[in-house]
Chain A
Amino acid sequence: MRIVVTTTTPDLDSPVDLRFGRAAYFVVVDTSTMEWQAHPNPAAAAPGGAGIRAAQFIAEQKVESVISGDFGPNAHQALAAAGIGMYLFGASASARQAVERFKAGQLESPSGSGGRGRRGGS
């Protein structure tokens, strides 16, 4: 199964990036082989709608689930529409540990959609 973890550096042993839409990197991991590949987040510096753009990028990676610190309401809506599962990394010290805990079924999904989106300037 292919999943994604948001990370602060392009490495599976990186800390998990707390943000989804503005995460520095997305590490795509094959959970059976633990092979991984890091991609810079194309939405990291977007002026607005970063969560949506990031969700679209994740959807294009053909992954089943994504692990991050939290998901904004727009990102949540977009990921849900794409059928991608969302998980919180909890107390995991690294992306690798988050994946191991995900495989063990120890990660939780965010509750609800977290209210309305950030309202950017015009």
Chain B
Amino acid sequence: MRIAVASGKGGTGKTTVATSLALSLAADGRGREFAPGPPLLLDCDVEAPNAHLFLRPRFERVWEVGIPIPQVDQARCSACGRCAEVCAYNAIAVLGPKVLVFPELCHGCGSCARACPEGAITEVVRPIGVLRRGTALGGIDFGHGELTVGEPMAGPVIRQLKREVTPRPGQVVILDAPPGTSCPVVEAVRGADFLLLVTEPTPFGLHDLRLAVQIGRVLGIPLGVIINRDGIGDQSVAQYCDSEAVPILMRIPFERAIAQGFAQGRTLLETHPAYGSQLEDMVLQITRRIEETR
């Protein structure tokens, strides 16, 4: 089971929920109806990963990831322009006899190398970030990616994180998605069995929640909402969820102690252990909803 935690609006509590959910699953399962054991948590917010600040993993492995970019052998190049024609991102240009490559625009699709009739293009990997994996609090398997500062494309790092840090058989995976509703979010959420959307009951929260719900629907992933900072703002998020038949799975009140704990690197579960049973109930609900949609 793969649960993606996303939000649309940033700062609504994705990491609070993802890390607390991971810890609640990792907790001693004796006497519980559902005890899947320590999950794998993947922090897919590669532009600003922060789940490690709460789950404090010991990283056992760090490795570089990159994207393949074209390298042109000017001696073999006939300046025919095929490479520029097939590039969907305008990352390669043929200007008179010269071929210019713009590495930061290149998505690494490899079309130019395949299209080149002279075989003048080879692909070389350009590093754009690192992946790390290790074991965190409660025996949680932990992985995250970190995009190099200044690099524009988060997607390939997220893709490789999901491909290279994989769960054991039967292990629950929690994907902490980046904020927003653009390509990196789609990359993080794609393939998940359930989309858990954390929002706040404000007009901004609702605006982005609508977009995030659309992502889930386009990808065909069943979804539910957690309302964080419950008690502020207005009722528009609840009304929206009601009219769209989106289940509200949990509410977390707006509370100073939670914010203080977060600022000191403590998860919701550490601040309020009582949330453990609520999170477990939520996972049970999620499991049922996944089964219903199958």
Residue B125 interfacial (CB < 8 Å)? no
Q: A38: CB under 8 A from chain B?
A: no
Which residues on A sit within 8 Å (CB–CB) of B155?
Answer: 122
- Which of A49, A55, A59, A81 is within 8 Å of B105, CB to CB? A49
Of A82, A117, A119, A120, which contacts B95 at CB under 8 A?
Answer: A82
Minimum CB–CB distance from B163 to chain A (whole Å) comes to 16
The answer to whether B77 has its CB under 8 Å from any CB of chain A is no
B21 at the interface (CB under 8 A from A): no
Q: What is the bound-complex CA distance between A103 and B89, given in angstroms?
A: 36
Q: Which residues of A contact B84 (CB under 8 A)?
A: 56
Tell me, in angstroms, the Cα distance from A81 to B100 when the chains sit together.
Answer: 8
Residues of A within 8 A of B98 (CB): 81-82
Query: CB of B31 within 8 A of chain A?
Result: no
- The answer to whether B91 touches A49, judged by C-beta atoms less than 8 angstroms apart, is yes
Residues of A with C-beta under 8 A to B105: 48-49, 52, 74, 117, 120
- How far is it, in angstroms, between the C-alpha of A82 and the C-alpha of B183 when the chains are bound? 33
Smallest distance from the beta carbon of A93 to chain B beta carbons, Å?
31
Is B102 an interface residue when CB atoms closer than 8 A count as contact? yes
Q: Which residues of B contact A55 (CB under 8 A)?
A: 93, 95
Interface status of A83 (Cβ within 8 A of chain B): yes
Categorize the interface residue count of chain B.
20 to 34
Q: Are A81 and B184 in contact (CB under 8 A)?
A: no
Interchain CB contact under 8 A, A48 and B89: yes
- A44-80, CB under 8 A of B: which get 1 and which 0? 0011111011011001000000000000001001100
Query: What 0/1 pattern do residues 68 to 98 of B give for CB contact below 8 A with A?
Result: 0000000000000000100011110111101
- Which B residues are in CB contact (< 8 Å) with A120? 89, 105, 152
Which residues of chain B have C-beta atoms less than 8 A from A48's C-beta? 89-90, 105
Decide if A43 is an interface residue (CB 8 Å cutoff): yes
Interface residues on A, range: 20 to 34
The distance from the CB of B87 to the nearest CB of chain A, in whole angstroms, is: 8
- A74 and B102 within 8 A (CB): yes
Contact B152 A53 (CB under 8 A): no
Contact B96 A83 (CB under 8 A): yes
0/1 interface trace, chain A 100-113, chain B, CB 8 Å (1 if under)? 00000000000000
Task: Give Cα distance in the complex from A82 to B95, angstroms.
Answer: 5
Residues from chain B with Cβ under 8 Å of A82 in the complex: 95-96, 98
Further contacts, 11 of them, CB under 8 A, given A59-B95, A74-B102, A78-B93? A48-B90, A49-B91, A49-B102, A52-B91, A52-B93, A55-B95, A56-B93, A74-B105, A117-B105, A120-B105, A122-B153
Task: Enumerate chain A interface residues (CB-CB to B < 8 A).
Answer: 43, 46-50, 52-53, 55-56, 59, 74, 77-78, 81-83, 117, 119-122
15 A-B Cβ contacts within 8 A? A49-B91, A52-B91, A52-B105, A55-B95, A56-B84, A56-B95, A59-B95, A78-B95, A81-B98, A82-B95, A83-B96, A117-B102, A122-B152, A122-B154, A122-B184
Nearest 10 pairs of A and B residues by beta carbon = A49-B90, A82-B95, A122-B153, A119-B152, A122-B155, A53-B90, A52-B90, A56-B93, A59-B95, A49-B105
